[in-house]
Amino acid sequence: MSAPPRITSLDVARLAGVSQSAVSRVFTPGASVAPKTAAKVRAAAKTLGYRPNSLARAMITGKSRIIGLVVAYLENQFYPVAIEKLGHALQAQGYHVLLFMASNTEGEMERLVEDLLAYQVDGIITASVAISNDVTRRCSDAGIPLVMFNRGQPGSGLSSVTSANALGGRKVAQFLLAGGHRRIAHISGWQGASTGRDRARGLIEGLAEAGQQPHAIIDGMFDRDTAADAARTLMDGADPPDAIFVGNDHMAFAVMDALRAMGLDVPRDVSVVGYDDVPMAAWGAYRLTTVRQPLMRMVEATVETLLAQIDTPDRAAQSIEIDAPLIRRASARCPEGDTDAGL
């Protein structure tokens, strides 16, 4: 049995009594079309069972309306929520999202770029992914803008959107010092990432302003098991810390679990502070004091920056940092009499 004939935009135009270009405008996001015309075209399309051919339109217009979203470290509860918000924000602007999973192993992003180029994406957003000079050059040569989300790379010439990580670390230092802590350790995020480095730097600078220095710093590698091992090492030492700032919530939960398994009370024996404020941080099992990433503002800034660079290819790169409040819960001792919800 032969396949039924394919319905085309010309068929829809004839039934609706409009031009073929009017049909094209109706199914092109952002295009201008009269409401009455749009209603007739959509009614005709429904009657005929017409579906616009996005790939064919991309070949004609040079725009696929597809954004490549590359993400690693999905076990961190921050990123599934961020992906959902980024997807909704891009769809609201008439774009589709093509999700690629990555690792930070050498050459991984270089391999993914070939797939991204093959799909003719209009732009790329990377989350928790390192970008090499080769990737930057290849995207630039192809005319595809790239924006880094929750990660920066100074000197790369790429736009980035992050929370004010160093300032967040400084706020943690001020908060813990005000709570009477003097042996403040840091289980940092991976020091190969700007987020890990900047949060550690902020803590160090905040302590230095009070004439203090970190009791100890261990790279937690943004890994739960590594962070838990680091917590046990710190607390088994001859002079254990009285507070631990952990580079993100994902590691902080593992740290709290490890401390409790050792028979320690959080925060009576040791305070714990995280970074991100994922939904799980508010759960009764953790009630984690943490720095809240301003997720929606970061998403909006990322989408606005990428779409602006798609519309204006020679637009200068931007490095956007957005203030992040410290959210006080039960995992850290607060300054006496201080019950404010944010800092």
Instruction: Break the chain down into helix, strand, coil percent, rounded to 5.
Output: 45, 15, 40
Domain 9-52: CATH architecture, name and number where available: Orthogonal Bundle (1.10)
How distant is the alpha carbon of residue 14 from its chain centre? Answer: 46
Q: How far apart are the first and last CA of the chain?
A: 70
- 35-73 residue pLDDT tens: 999 899 899 888 888 877 665 565 555 577 899 999 988
pLDDT truncated to tens, each residue of the chain (343 aa)?
Answer: 555 677 888 888 898 898 888 887 887 766 788 999 989 989 988 888 887 766 556 555 557 789 999 998 889 999 999 999 999 999 999 899 999 988 766 677 788 888 888 888 999 999 988 777 788 888 888 889 999 999 988 888 899 999 999 999 999 999 999 999 999 999 999 998 999 999 999 999 999 999 999 999 999 999 999 999 999 999 999 999 999 999 999 999 999 999 999 999 999 999 999 999 999 999 999 999 999 999 999 999 999 999 999 999 889 999 999 999 999 999 999 887 565 444 4
pLDDT at position 177: 97
Domain 165-293: CATH architecture, name and number where available: 3-Layer(aba) Sandwich (3.40)
Angle at 91 between CA 89 and CA 97, to 5 degrees: 100
Peptide bond preceding 241 in cis form (omega within 30 of 0): no
Q: Which of 95, 109, 81 is nearest to 29 (CA)?
A: 95
What is the spatial distance between Cα 247 and Cα 266, in angstroms, rounded to a whole number? 17
Find all residues with CB under 8 Å of 11, minimum gap 6, and list them. 48, 50
Helix axes 78-92, 295-311, angle to 10 degrees: 40
Q: Same CATH fold, 165-293 and 66-163+295-322? A: yes
What is the spatial distance between Cα 168 and Cα 174, in angstroms, rounded to a whole number? 10
Fold classified for 66-163+295-322: Rossmann fold (3.40.50)
How many Cβ atoms sit within 10 Å of the Cβ of residue 223?
19
Q: Which of 174, 168, 147 is nearest to 247 (CA)?
A: 168
* Beta-bridge partners for 274: 290
How many Cβ atoms sit within 10 Å of the Cβ of residue 189?
28
Q: Where are the domains of the chain?
A: 9-52, 66-163+295-322, 165-293
Q: State both tokens at 119.
A: 């799909």
Q: Could you tell me the pTM of the whole model?
A: 0.83
Sheet with 123-127: list strands edge to edge.
Answer: 96-101, 66-71, 123-127, 146-149, 159-163, 319-322
How many Cβ atoms sit within 10 Å of the Cβ of residue 135?
21
pLDDT at position 54: 60
